[in-house]
Amino acid sequence: MAFLNLASLPTATFESAYKLNEDVRLYSQPGAPKYHVFISYRHEDRSYVPRVAKFLKGLQAGIYIDFLDEELAKAPDSQTAPILRRRITQCSKLIQIITPNSSDSRWMPWELGLGDGILGYRNAVTLPIINTYQPKVSQDYLDMYGHIETTTARNSTYEDWSIQYPDNTAEWFTTWLKK
């Protein structure tokens, strides 16, 4: 088992993530298809999001990222929770980026629980991320929810990725995304 290693992902910047903002506008139109994946993360780990988004876009996944949502205030306010609840409802999947910083987040447990309740247990999963400086992630989420992992250490092809569930079942990541 291997987790996503940031060193194996191509770099991406917010400028190259601009197309994702267009996706947000596209999916907001009446009658348009729903978002596909809601990305949950700790704002301290925001720099990881464009790289993960680029990985997911390589699989033609529609993506929702809160910092690209013009309807959200820069700092959480009384409208943050209703907007995020609506966005999760508009998605078919939720992927929560888990890093060593995640355990300090107040919003991430709420988003994952909401994704579980709205989208279903098997549609709300975690993506543990490691890097050279912080090679470990908390096991709590891995024991409670499905998590994305690869069978190889090189993290290079989409075919190597699967979702492992706590009940010892698994499915290929690409199959899961298309459901």
Domain residue limits, the chain: 4-178
Q: How far apart are CA 28 and CA 86, in angstroms?
A: 11
Please give the pLDDT value at position 17. Answer: 40
The verdict on pTM exceeding 0.85 is no
- CA torsion sign for 34, 19, 155, 67 is negative
Which among 8, 59, 1 has a CA at the least distance from the CA of 175?
Answer: 59
Classify 4-178 by CATH class. Answer: alpha beta
pLDDT class of 145 with cuts at 50, 70, 90: very high
**Residues 64-77, mean pLDDT to the nearest whole number:** 86
